[in-house]
Structure formats: C-alpha cells, structure tokens
C-alpha cells in the first residue's frame, strides 16, 4: 500500500461525493451536491489516495464558536471524516487527522471541533466531549403551560418565505453567543440552511417558522391521521429564545398546535427550564442523552484566554507535559506558559470539556481524565471553569 495524503481539488469532487455517500449511507441529489459544494473550501480538505482511488476524506469548515462569557474564537469545524472499508486499521485516519490539524493550526484557529459518527473514535486525537444532545418526547395532550406563564395574544406569529429570512438571521445574530459551543452563521449560511429547510424531509413537511420579538422556533410535521384520530408528529428543528418570555411564548404555541400527538426535539439543552413551566413536569420525557460536539484545544493560550470564568482565581493546568497559568474572572481571562507546580493535570482530550465549561473538573477527576493537587484545588477549579448554563450547539457541521 502506498497511500498518499494530499489537498483536495475540484477534479476530486465527484469522487468525494461517492466516497462520502458510500460511507454514511446517503445519496447526493444534484441539488444536495450543489449545496454541499457551495459550503466547502477544498483547500481545507485532505484526501487519502491509493493510486487513483480516494480511500479517505477529512476536512474542516472555517467557523467562529461562542465561548463562556459571550466571547468567540475562530474554530476549525472538522467534517466529512471517513476511511474506506478496504483501508481500515492501516493508519490512514491518523495521517488525515494530522494533516487537517496542521492546516487548522496554520490558519491560527485555536479550537477544532466535530460531531462524531461513533463516540469511541476521537478521544485519541485529543477531542473531549464538550456538549450533549438531549432528545425529548412530549405527549401533546399532557403538556400545557401553567396559566401564569402563558403569553399575551399576538406575542408569536408565523413567518415564511422571503419575509422570514432576514428576521431569522437577525435573531440568530443576537442569540448565538448566548450558548457556549454554538457557531456563527453569516447571511450565506443562513440562506443555505433556510433553502434546505424549505423542502420536505422524507414524510415530513417543509419547515414552519414561529417568530417572537426575541426568538423563533422552526418545526416540521409528519402527518399521521390514524383513521380519523390524528396523531401528527411535530419535530422541532431549531429553537432560539433570548428571553424567558420568548421561551415560554414559543413553547406555548408549539404545545397548542392542532392535530399533534407528540412533539419531538433533539434541540433542547440539558438544562432547559420547560418542565418548570408546565402543569405536569413529567410531560417532557427525556428519550436519550448522548454526546454532542467534541472539542480539541489547539492553542491553550489563545483559547483559554478568550473566555471568561465564574470566579476570580488562578489555576495552573498541566496538559501533555506543558504547564499553563490560567487566570481570570467574570470580566475575562488570560493563559500563559509557566513552570509552576500544577493544580490540575489533564489529558489533552479533557481540555475541550474544560474550555466549554459544561463538565465540572471534579467529574473529569472521577472519570480519570484529570488529577488534582488536592481537594481545595479541585473545589476551586469547579467554581472557576464551570458555566452557569450548559454548552449546547444546534448547528450540524
């Protein structure tokens, strides 16, 4: 085997679609292929090639990710990672990931992140589980807001077509920094996503949009007339709420939708307050909680210097043999290389979880991903790194 890793070119595009489709079990229609090509910078993609055959793909998108405190940093969103079945267990994935990471590093992006098709793959490449996906199912007949939380008439309206595009984009611009782990979308990204959701998805309808002055919800409906006893399935595609009033008003409207048997969502943060608003909190049933975004810290000084911290402190962190003094508080932070005795020793994968702040260092210690100098250092680290709201990302990449 003489596998070479090189930069992708336009001449590779058709073969890349075939390899990716074969790996992930999907067909690229001409429309879907055109949409994918419009979002990809091939100079960020690396191919493993055996002779004339592409046997592996890995690449990244140029993104900006929100960090604790409403700050943001450039990020390489790793994507399209696949290796042909004929070339597994031969080091191809490691070589491609090294090449993609080298490219991300050369572009000055201090963070890389990805969604993993299999959760056991990426920790060895320095990725730590940084967000979670919570899947919920709500039986519509059991769920209603308590009367004191119901909105005034007219707080929510439907929008569609060209009228909806700028409104949704403006709301996303206001909101994306509110959740650590979410990413920025420019107008082109917003239009691309809107166009995709304007088509049906299997048996489901195209997306509908409910809009509040401070948020929106998009959803699809899969019809089920059930022999005259309708039990449609409403699937929440995206949910954005900048205020508690917007959150309550949008959910009240979703729960009031006629002919719906169940409401499903994979977009609900693990700390979403909806159960507290309902007459019966058990109406929100968590079906599954699984890993979401995995993050790799490429530049500790830049990444940890870009976020804020819940308490004023200085924690010395050792990762991969290097030590960093991370100092900060609610107004900002800094990170610099030092030789001081470490308060915490972590593996590289744990850095991603610490950066986003969704996992307490004490939990990482219990999971053997972190060792603390003493109990006091661990207590201080819990206060310092952990965010008040859970990191969450609704954008797939």
Q: Is residue 258 part of a domain?
A: yes
Domain of residue 277, residue span: 133-291
- For residues 220 and 286, membership in a common domain is answered with yes
pLDDT for res 144 = 96
- For residues 189 and 84, membership in a common domain is answered with no
With contact defined as beta carbons under 8 Å apart, do 315 and 290 qualify? no
pLDDT at 73 over 70: yes
Q: Is residue 392 part of a domain?
A: no
- For residues 270 and 314, membership in a common domain is answered with no
Q: Is residue 126 part of a domain?
A: no
- For residues 142 and 283, membership in a common domain is answered with yes
What is the residue whose two structure tokens read 């700028």? Answer: 166
- Strand-strand pairing, 53-67 and 71-83: antiparallel
Write out the two tokens for 375: 């109990």
Which pLDDT band holds residue 318 (cuts at 50, 70, 90)? very high
Q: Measuring CA to CA, how many Å separate 203 from each of 25, 196, 219, 261?
A: 18, 15, 14, 16
- For residues 203 and 70, membership in a common domain is answered with no
pLDDT at 65 over 80: yes
Percent of the chain beyond pLDDT 90?
99
pLDDT for res 246 = 98
Percent of the chain beyond pLDDT 70?
100
Rounded Cα distance between 209 and 225, Å, is 23
> Whole-prediction pTM value?
0.94
Secondary structure (3-state) at 357: coil
Write the CATH number for 302. 3.30.1050.10
* Structural domain count, the chain: 3
Write the CATH number for 32. 3.40.630.30
- For residues 194 and 250, membership in a common domain is answered with yes
- For residues 9 and 101, membership in a common domain is answered with yes
- Strand-strand pairing, 260-265 and 232-241: parallel
Q: What are the tens digits of pLDDT across the range 342-381?
A: 999 999 999 999 999 999 999 999 999 999 999 999 999 9
Q: What are the tens digits of pLDDT across the range 246-267?
A: 999 999 999 999 999 999 999 9
- For residues 227 and 368, membership in a common domain is answered with no
- For residues 72 and 95, membership in a common domain is answered with yes
Rounded Cα distance between 213 and 197, Å, is 22
Rounded Cα distance between 285 and 136, Å, is 5
* Final residue of a structural domain among 235, 270, 291: 291
Mean pLDDT of 283-288: 97
Rounded Cα distance between 120 and 100, Å, is 19
* Final residue of a structural domain among 243, 264, 291: 291
- For residues 162 and 25, membership in a common domain is answered with no
pLDDT at 120 over 70: yes
Rounded Cα distance between 298 and 198, Å, is 37
Rounded Cα distance between 132 and 213, Å, is 28
Mean pLDDT of 115-141: 96
pLDDT at 1 over 90: no
pLDDT at 88 over 70: yes
- For residues 189 and 96, membership in a common domain is answered with no
Write out the two tokens for 371: 């060792």
Mean pLDDT of the chain: 96
Least-confidence region, from 47-51, 86-90, 361-365 = 86-90
pLDDT at 313 over 70: yes
Measured from the Cβ of residue 26, the count of other Cβ atoms closer than 10 Å reads 11
């Amino acid at each position: 085997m003489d596998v070479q890793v090189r930069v992708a070119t336009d001449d590779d595009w058709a073969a890349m679609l075939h390899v990716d489709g074969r790996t992930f079990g999907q067909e690229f229609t001409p429309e879907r292929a055109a949409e994918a090509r419009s979002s990809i910078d091939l100079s960020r993609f690396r191919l493993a090639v055996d002779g004339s055959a592409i046997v592996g793909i890995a690449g990244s998108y140029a993104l900006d990710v929100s960090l604790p405190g409403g700050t943001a940093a450039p990020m390489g969103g790793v994507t399209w990672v696949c290796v042909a079945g004929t070339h597994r267990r031969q080091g191809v994935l490691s070589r491609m990931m090294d090449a993609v990471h080298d490219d991300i590093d050369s572009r000055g992006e201090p963070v890389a992140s990805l969604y993993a098709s299999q959760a056991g793959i990426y920790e060895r490449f320095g990725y730590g589980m940084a967000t979670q996906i919570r899947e919920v199912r709500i039986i519509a007949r059991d769920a209603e807001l308590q009367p004191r939380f119901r909105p005034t008439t007219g707080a929510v309206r439907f929008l569609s077509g060209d009228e909806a595009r700028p409104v949704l984009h403006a709301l996303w611009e206001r909101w994306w920094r509110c959740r650590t782990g979410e990413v920025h979308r420019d107008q082109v990204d917003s239009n691309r996503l809107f166009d995709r959701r304007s088509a049906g998805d299997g048996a489901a309808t195209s997306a509908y949009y409910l809009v509040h002055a401070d948020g929106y919800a998009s959803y699809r409906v899969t019809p089920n007339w059930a022999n005259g006893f309708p039990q449609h399935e409403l699937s929440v595609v995206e949910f954005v709420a900048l205020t508690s009033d917007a959150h309550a008003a949008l959910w009240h409207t979703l729960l009031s939708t006629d002919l719906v048997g169940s409401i499903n969502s994979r977009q609900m943060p693990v700390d979403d307050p909806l159960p507290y608003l309902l007459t019966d909190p058990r109406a929100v049933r968590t079906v599954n909680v699984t890993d979401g975004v995995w993050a790799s810290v490429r530049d500790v000084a830049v990444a940890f210097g870009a976020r804020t911290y819940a308490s004023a402190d200085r924690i010395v962190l050792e990762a991969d043999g290097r030590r960093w003094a991370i100092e900060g508080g609610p107004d900002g932070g800094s990170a610099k290389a030092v030789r001081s005795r470490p308060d915490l020793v972590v593996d590289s994968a744990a850095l991603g979880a610490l950066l986003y702040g969704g996992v307490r260092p004490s939990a990482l210690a219990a999971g053997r991903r972190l060792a603390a100098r003493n109990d006091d250092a661990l207590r201080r680290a819990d206060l310092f790194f952990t965010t008040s709201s859970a990191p969450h990302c609704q954008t797939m990449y």
